[in-house]
Amino acid sequence: EQSMHIATYPDVGTLSQEAARYIVRIAKESIATHGRFTIALSGGTTPKKLYGLLAEEPYRSQIDWALVEIFWSDERNVPPSSQDSNYYLAKEVLLDKVPLAEKQIHRMPGEDPDRDAASQAYEADLRRTFGSAGIPAFDLIQLGMGPEGHTASLFPHQPSLHEQQRLIMPVDVPKPPPPRLTFTPPLLNAAIHVLFLVTGAEKAEAVQAVLEGPHQPDEYPAQIVRPTQGEVTWMFDTAAAANLRNK
Ligand code: 6PG
């Protein structure tokens, strides 16, 4: 049975500090129980502060970086040096500043013109890293949510919402840049922990619908994220949580 936690913070700074504390805790627990910490990062703008904090004290030295494997839950069809690249966002503020070997950084090849091959290659990398049996269970998948309820690059009414076989797939989404690679529902739902970071008044309506409305994941894809064995934590700022009845 999955469990859910909801917390609201006054601003992005406080939310980011709490998210950093949470990630440090899950990293320590994961390393203590199975010797490493596997994490998938997101894109968007919200997690930038968090990623920067992880590279700074008091968080940086609490993570045994040699035992971390970093992946991405989605990527845009842009070169890794692009300002629009989810990889670039993390590289700038985090990856360049902590002791990580290249082989621990599993960049999603969003710029590859052969998007099927790129998806399959990333899936193969996942399976190699996690071992062969079953669907890889991330210790932590960190996600954002858009104002219409999209998460990773799973957007309303797209066929990706019903994918059951592939772990990674190419999609074309309404938010620029349209061509992307994304984690699919089965991969998201195999996670041990999922951390959603959601800020801003423009998301308040979707937040209420996703958490308190009827189950209609075609309308609100974030509702798909219900890991069978996992724990979901939502961290909001006050504006994003404004419409929740139960805060
Ligand atoms: C992406 C994301 C996406 C993001 C949300 C929220 O590549 O665009 O991974 O799912 O997390 O769009 O983005 P913000 O945090 O910028 O609102």
Could you read off the pLDDT of 146-157 as tens digits, one per residue?
A: 999 999 999 999
H or E element that contains 118: helix 115-130
Which is nearest to 123 in space by CA: 186, 175, 192? 186
ipTM of this complex prediction, to 2 decimal places: 0.95
Residue entry with tokens 């797939």: 169
Please tell me if the CB atom of residue 142 comes closer than 6 angstroms to any atom of ligand 1: no
Residues 6+ apart with CB under 8 A from 142: 19, 23, 39, 40, 41, 42, 47, 50, 73, 194, 195, 196, 197
The CB-side HSE value for 27 (13 A sphere, CA atoms) comes to 22
Q: How far is the CA of 207 from the centre of ligand 1 (A)?
A: 14
* pLDDT score at 184: 98
- Is domain 8-212 given the CATH code 3.40.50.150 in the classification? no
Please tell me the distance from the alpha carbon of residue 5 to that of residue 7, in angstroms, as a whole number: 7
* Pocket test residue of 87, 107, 145, 220 for ligand 1, highest count of atoms within 8 A of CB: 145
Per-residue pLDDT of the chain in tens (247 residues, 90 and over written 9): 568 999 999 999 999 999 999 999 999 999 999 999 999 999 999 999 999 999 999 999 999 999 999 999 999 999 999 999 999 999 999 999 999 999 999 999 999 999 999 999 999 999 999 997 899 999 999 999 999 999 999 999 999 999 999 999 999 999 999 999 999 999 999 999 999 999 999 999 999 999 999 999 999 999 999 998 899 999 999 999 999 998 7
Domain boundaries, the chain: 8-212
Q: Is there an atom of ligand 1 within 6 Å of 149 CB?
A: no
| Residue for token pair 């070169």 | 79
Nearest CA to ligand 1 atom 13: 44
Cα 197 to averaged position of ligand 1 atoms, centre (Å): 10
pLDDT of residue 2: 65
pLDDT on residue 247: 75
